Chain A
Amino acid sequence: MIAVLGLIWVYFHWATDYVFLTPRNLSNLMTQMSVTGVIAVGMLMVIVSGNIDLSVGAVLGFAGGIAAYAVTVMDYGLPTAIVAAVAVGVAIGIFNGALTAYLNIPAFIVTLGGLLAWRGAVKWLLGGNTIPISNETFKAIGNENLPLSIGWALAVVAILFVLFMAYRNAKSVKDYGLGDANYVGELLKAIIPIGGIVAFIWVMNAYQGVPIPVLILLVVALAGGFITNSTTFGRYLYAIGGNADAARLSGINNKRNIVKVFAVLGALTGIAALMFTARVGSAAPDAGVLKELDAIAACVIGGASLMGGRGTIFGACLGALIMASLDNGMSLLNVRDFMQDIIKGSILVAAVGLDMMGRKQS
């Protein structure tokens, strides 16, 4: 899929007269993918557990509406709005998870109902109107950039962290008596992430600095990667999605973990709602329409199986980046609206088809 992304980028760069791969456009592109990316991280975990959440687009609209209502109508501060949006997301997530796990209603049905019901709730809350955001700090979440110096400082911190992990990996081999510590090998392996960090900050700072939404996505994605790879909760998700009976008989509380994973997605949907509302500068009744499908598509393009048990955060983010690249590139090329949809749909199916063919052969 990295190769597919590369092809798409090279093609658009050439087709747009070398506009696509400029710092300015890349910065826009990353900002555009950030909302979908944050949701995709949570969606990936839900999909890995063998479930699905179709309600995230509507929940995004509702949580965004709540935040806007709190700030603009009720005149509360930003912290209240943030807490409210995330709390709404978590509460709905727990509700979806509980219906799925404890009442055995398929997640598809629970969240299909949610898709309708929460969209209705937004319309009711906003009375069909759009609520503008007056709070400038709120808007900054979606629109400001990190100062260049802070961007570089973060790069330094990130590089030190990568080096520390490399050192720890090498050392643990020795500590546990599994062989000699291979410091040079680990250092060589660290070159790619370090290169990535430097390139990323350099490109972002070449325009206006790292956009805040992109920073949020990075933090969320790193946290998601950590949860899926390095926690018992993450491992249980793969086990439940891979073979629910085997997981249950191995002492895993499948039901509780399913509620948890929906809660995590709910929290991330709340965060995405804040980012989206801030970026647009208002809460509208149709905010987040079809966002669930973007997030699911991102996961699937990134190699997740809707049957559960398989998928990575990295893949989901890559999938979100591919989708955003298509949107961005086709807009630059002034491809007509309907054509964009046709092409995106076709590429989604083709990408998964290729993936399945590759899997069969291996």
Chain B
Amino acid sequence: MPLLEMRNIVKEFPGVRALDGVSFTLEAGEFHSLVGENGAGKSTLMKVLSGVYPDGTFDGEILVDDQARHFRGIRDAESAGIAIIFQELSLVKELTVGENIFLGKEPSRFGVINWAELYHKASKLLQDLHLGIDPRVKVGSLGIGQQQLVEIAKALSQDAKILVLDEPTAALTESEVETLFGILEKLRQRGVGMIYISHKLDEVFKMSDRITVLRDGKTVATHNAAEIDKNKVIAAMVGREVGNIFPEPDHQNGDVALSVKNLSAYSADIADKKLVDDVSFDVRKGEVLGIAGLMGAGRTELLMAIFGAWQGRYSREIEIGGEPASIDSPADAIAKGIGFVTEDRKRFGLILEQTILDNMTLAGLRSISGRFVTNRTLETMAARGPMKSLRIKANSPLTVTGTLSGGNQQKVVLGKWLLTNPKVLFLDEPTRGIDVGAKQEIYAEINKLAQTGMAIVLVSSELPEVLGLSDRIIVLHEGRLTGEFTRDEATPEKVMAAATGNN
């Protein structure tokens, strides 16, 4: 009898069938990995399981211990023994570790919290996991890896029978990963069933009993880990030859377009926390420079500090086209010919309730439309260029960006920066959460822009993307430059070693 059985799950969003009849089983004490490309439906499936998408918003059955379950919300799933650790940390940074672990389940009597009991339980829990974390410190003061471990402690405080881990090691150092795997091994012995979502196939193979591959919302196959190898899993994930989605780079590197010297940046919240430590690099005209590193390595902070947009303290020297340049604000950076396709388009890139036209003209408004008085006609004409060249699928420039697909939204952000006529373009996670088709179009566009002589700085957490697009790669680890590779030298192993500080 399986611990968990999901039968024929179908979940539809407007215009997309995210899950198309997925079935999945988990045994007690089993480590079952779920792999697949971004958008294959892994996270959606887990949201169905954990009640984020309540009963009735999807088709299919969920059985725990052979009993049909109908989760109306996360609480229902939790009380059935299902705990989930999402990709994005869901901790409250301003609360302490202990408060976070027991958030919503504080030991209390008549609504009065028993603090002594809370912290006692929390420190016991942390000790059981061999985590040397003080339950009374604020979560925000911990490193991202320790936060991840707190998140796991929180899940365990609920006596979970089924633990879902969505990319838990993305931000961890190697030693933290070892700690985590030690904990998971113990849980396995206790009979906890684990569903593990990861892109890191080494980890998947190291830990798994079984591996299920999802593609385009369907189950491709479930295998015993011992009976399959990595290449077969990759082939099943992509369902086609790997490597053909990156264009063949054919750009000539020219003079140095942007030179950054001795850049250091500090946390905006904790004054003395150095996030980028004395980094220097150049990027040439027509060159694609990849910046690799794990989450929290300081890549975004680096770009923000160059752009004059970092909100903490920072220092650096910048030369553009060989001339010293002073950049104190994004407006300065734009005037000097730097464009910045920021990460997290919904948070930093778009004004979701405004139209494509309004978003696309925002950064270059004064040069496109007029210094003080705007001209709609000129704006429409300007926006048509990128809409056409980037093949943005929308009825008109007046479509509200919030209604677009992720890929089209990303293209709007890219279009916004192309309209500022940049000489140097920063791209921070330009393809996160968008479908393969749109990715391929953005890759082609990056290549095309480099051909025109634009200098491109690409930050991406997807290693194949950095390797496939870059002429040269620099690697950051905990804010320091730990590696530099030409396209020919770079291998996933070398870059990963540098990114984890192991070279």
Contacts and interface: CB of A to CB of B under 8 A. Distances in A.
B354 A238 contact: yes
A-B pairs with the 9 shortest C-beta distances? A242-B351, A250-B363, A251-B331, A251-B334, A251-B330, A243-B351, A250-B362, A172-B377, A245-B348
Given A235-B365, A243-B351, A249-B342, 11 more contacts: A176-B377, A230-B373, A232-B365, A234-B374, A238-B351, A238-B358, A245-B348, A246-B348, A246-B349, A249-B307, A310-B353
A231 B354 contact: no
B330 A232 contact: no
A232 B378 CA distance: 13
Nearest to A229: B374
B309 interface: yes
B331 A242 contact: no
B326 interface: no
Q: Which of A172, A242, A245, A251 has the most CB of B within 10 A?
A: A251
B372 interface: yes
A246 B309 contact: no
A239 interface: yes
A356 B350 CA distance: 23
A178 B380 contact: yes
B196 to A, nearest CB: 33
A246, A250, A309, A310: residue with the most chain B Cβ atoms closer than 10 Å? A250
Contacts of A243: 347, 350-352
Contacts of B358: 235, 238-239
B371 interface: yes
B347 A250 contact: no
A116 to B, nearest CB: 30
B366 interface: yes
B340 interface: yes
Given A246-B349, A309-B353, A233 B330 contact: no
Contact of B354 (A173, A178, A242): A242
A189 interface: no
Given A231-B373, A253-B329, A247 B351 contact: yes
Contact of B347 (A176, A233, A234, A245): A245
Contacts, number: 82
Contacts of B354: 238-239, 242, 309
B489 to A, nearest CB: 33
B353 A232 contact: no
A359 to B, nearest CB: 11
A249 B330 contact: yes
B309 A249 contact: yes
27 contacts: A172-B377, A176-B378, A176-B381, A178-B377, A178-B380, A231-B372, A232-B370, A232-B374, A233-B372, A234-B374, A235-B362, A235-B374, A236-B365, A238-B358, A239-B354, A242-B354, A246-B347, A246-B351, A248-B309, A248-B330, A249-B330, A249-B342, A250-B362, A251-B329, A252-B330, A253-B331, A309-B353
Interface in B458-487: none
A251 B348 contact: no
Contacts of B421: none
B369 interface: yes
Contacts of A176: 377-378, 381
A207 B3 CA distance: 83
A230 B373 CA distance: 6
B439 interface: no
A233 B365 CA distance: 10
B416 interface: yes
Contacts of A239: 351, 354, 358, 362
Interface in B336-392: 340, 342, 347-354, 358, 362-363, 365-366, 369-374, 377-378, 380-381
Interface string A216-237: 0000000000000011111110
B329 A232 contact: no
A231 B380 contact: no
B213 interface: no
Interface of A is mostly: helix
Given A172-B377, A242-B353, A247 B362 contact: yes
Contacts of B351: 238-239, 242-243, 246-247, 309
| B331, B340, B354, B358 — most chain A CB neighbours (10 Å) | B354
Nearest to B379: A235
B363 A230 contact: no
A232 B377 contact: no
Contacts of A248: 309, 330
B373 A178 contact: no
Interface in A35-80: none
Interface in B295-318: 307, 309
B333 interface: yes
Most chain B CB inside 10 Å of its own CB: which residue of A242, A253, A309: A242
Nearest to A173: B377
Nearest to B369: A232
A114 B365 CA distance: 35
A246 B307 CA distance: 14
A249 B304 CA distance: 9
Instruction: Among B342, B363, B370, find the residue whose CB has the most chain A CB atoms closer than 10 A.
Output: B363
A253 B370 CA distance: 17
A251 B363 contact: yes
Nearest to A243: B351
Contacts of A234: 374
A248 B370 CA distance: 19
Contacts of A247: 351, 362
B369 A250 contact: no
Nearest to B370: A232
Nearest to A245: B348
A251 B350 contact: no
Contacts of A242: 351-354
A166 to B, nearest CB: 14
A253 B331 CA distance: 8
Nearest to B341: A249
A242 B365 CA distance: 16
Contacts of B416: 250
Nearest to B361: A235
B379 to A, nearest CB: 10
Contacts of A235: 358, 362, 365, 374
B333 to A, nearest CB: 7
A253 B308 CA distance: 12
A245 B334 CA distance: 16
A121 to B, nearest CB: 35
Interface string A248-273: 11111100000000000000000000
Contacts of B366: 232
B281 to A, nearest CB: 21
Contact of B374 (A178, A231, A245, A309): A231
Interface string B411-442: 00000100000000000000000000000000
B223 to A, nearest CB: 44
Nearest to B417: A250
